[in-house]
């Protein structure tokens, strides 16, 4: 099989390495707007460097898009029109109109576009979904989700990030929908700037809390932020009528109990997403190779990405207006 990678920066380089190690991938083709970077990665991975996205699309059976967010919609369109099955890093786009255009285009062309919400491939979240679906958890009452980054990104990144809900918590919205098998119908979100004044300058916040109401009536609370001195803390707790379970709690979780006799904070706590979700990133691309080969169904569609975006936009509006917001209000 021949696979292309478009954009070999932070995450694209990792994806290219993972694909290089996949026994089904015989030929790897990369392209980067920075041609020297593309050449260097191609040499390091015994891949071929293409001169352009259009040229790459003529040489591959499937393509991974890992270029910056503002390029995703255009490149997805190119790939879908070329009939090339596509994996795209999240998000499709930061605005609803562009996302919906892509959703419509993919449907019209019967295209395959797998979105990179890697938490769906994490063992803990898979087990949580199973606990809900099998009935082992019973009726779901409450969900608690935490998404805490270790350190803020640079201000230049914030300017085009779409804000904390679309940039960081979009992963929480996708995974909680997937684990519960339910939609979020209403949110009430608050934000504060407690870490760095650059967030105020960018009309963004660095610390959030909020509530979520699900279609079954279950209630969720979320917390998150851009600074956590102990590391990258991504967790979920589910409280049901038969069991209570947690995801993301292991001996590298950047949290420690103050009860007597409990261990100190781990010295090797997860520093960032590539460590925390290493196995999940590998598994999502393994699945993509199976999707390209026709052995598997697309596990995460552009329509799923639209739903998470709606929740993030509802949180933005809720924070601005200081009131609960129905998702239907944003979707209308």
Ligand X SMILES: NC(=O)c1ccc[n+]([C@@H]2O[C@H](COP(=O)([O-])OP(=O)(O)OC[C@H]3O[C@@H](n4cnc5c(N)ncnc54)[C@H](O)[C@@H]3O)[C@@H](O)[C@H]2O)c1
Query: Could you list the residues that contact ligand X (CB under 6 A)?
Result: 6-12, 31-34, 37, 53, 66-69, 71, 89-90, 116, 118, 273
Pair of tokens at residue 4 = 């292309």
Which strands sit side by side in the sheet containing 86-89, from one edge to the other? 48-49, 27-31, 2-6, 62-65, 86-89, 113-116
41 or 218: whose CB is closer to ligand X?
41
Point out the residue whose Cβ comes nearest to ligand X. Answer: 9
33 or 129: whose CB is closer to ligand X?
33
3-class SS of residue 80: helix
13 or 319: whose CB is closer to ligand X?
13
DSSP letter, residue 52:
S
How near is the Cβ of 329 to ligand X at its closest, in Å? 26
Neighbours of 4 (CB within 10 A): 29
How near is the Cβ of 32 to ligand X at its closest, in Å? 5
| CB 117, CB 174: distance < 8 Å | yes
How near is the Cβ of 6 to ligand X at its closest, in Å? 5
How near is the Cβ of 281 to ligand X at its closest, in Å? 7
How near is the Cβ of 104 to ligand X at its closest, in Å? 21
Residue whose tokens read 């040229």 = 55
How near is the Cβ of 241 to ligand X at its closest, in Å? 33
Q: What are the backbone angles phi and psi of residue 162, rounded to the nearest 5°? A: 90, -5
Residue whose tokens read 């993919």 = 106
Q: With DSSP H G I counted as helix, E B as strand and the rest as coil, what are the percentages for the chain, rounded to 5?
A: 40, 20, 40
143 or 168: whose CB is closer to ligand X?
168
Q: Nearest Cα to 289, choosing from 90, 28, 10? A: 28
- The interaxial angle of helices 170-180 and 123-133, nearest 10 deg, is 40
**In the chain, how many H helices and how many E strands?**
14, 13
9 or 324: whose CB is closer to ligand X?
9
Peptide bond into 238 cis (omega under 30): no
131 or 282: whose CB is closer to ligand X?
282
Cβ-based neighbours of 80, under 8 Å, separated by 6 or more: 86, 105, 106, 109, 111, 113
How near is the Cβ of 53 to ligand X at its closest, in Å? 6
92 or 187: whose CB is closer to ligand X?
92
């Amino acid at each position: 099989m021949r696979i292309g990678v478009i954009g070999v920066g932070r995450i694209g380089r990792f994806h290219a390495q993972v694909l290089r190690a996949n026994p089904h991938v015989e030929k790897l083709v990369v392209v980067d707007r920075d041609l020297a970077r593309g050449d260097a990665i191609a040499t390091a991975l015994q891949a071929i460097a293409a001169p352009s996205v259009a040229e790459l699309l003529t040489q591959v059976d499937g393509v991974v898009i890992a270029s910056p967010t503002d390029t995703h919609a255009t490149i997805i369109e190119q790939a879908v029109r070329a009939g090339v099955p596509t994996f795209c890093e999240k998000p499709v786009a930061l605005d609803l109109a562009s996302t919906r255009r892509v959703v419509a285009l993919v449907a019209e062309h019967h295209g395959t576009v797998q979105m990179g919400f890697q938490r769906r491939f994490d063992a803990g979240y898979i087990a949580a979904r199973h606990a809900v679906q099998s009935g082992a958890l019973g009726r779901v009452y409450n969900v608690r989700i935490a998404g805490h980054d270790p350190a803020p990104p640079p201000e230049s990144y914030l300017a085009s990030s779409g804000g904390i809900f679309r940039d960081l918590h979009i992963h929480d919205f996708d995974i909680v929908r997937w684990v519960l098998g339910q939609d979020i119908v209403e949110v009430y979100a608050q934000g504060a700037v407690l870490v760095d004044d650059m967030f105020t300058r960018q009309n963004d916040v660095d610390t959030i809390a909020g509530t979520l109401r699900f279609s079954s009536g279950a209630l969720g609370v979320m917390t998150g932020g851009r600074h956590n001195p102990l590391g990258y803390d991504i967790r979920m707790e589910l409280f049901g009528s038969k069991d209570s379970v947690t995801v993301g709690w292991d001996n590298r979780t950047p949290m420690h109990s103050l009860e007597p006799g409990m261990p100190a904070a781990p010295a090797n706590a997860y520093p960032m997403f590539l460590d925390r979700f290493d196995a999940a990133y590998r598994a999502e691309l393994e699945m993509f190779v199976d999707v390209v080969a026709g052995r598997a169904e697309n596990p995460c569609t552009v329509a799923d990405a639209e739903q998470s975006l709606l929740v993030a936009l509802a949180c933005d509006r809720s924070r601005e207006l200081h009131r609960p917001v129905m998702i239907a209000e944003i979707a209308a």
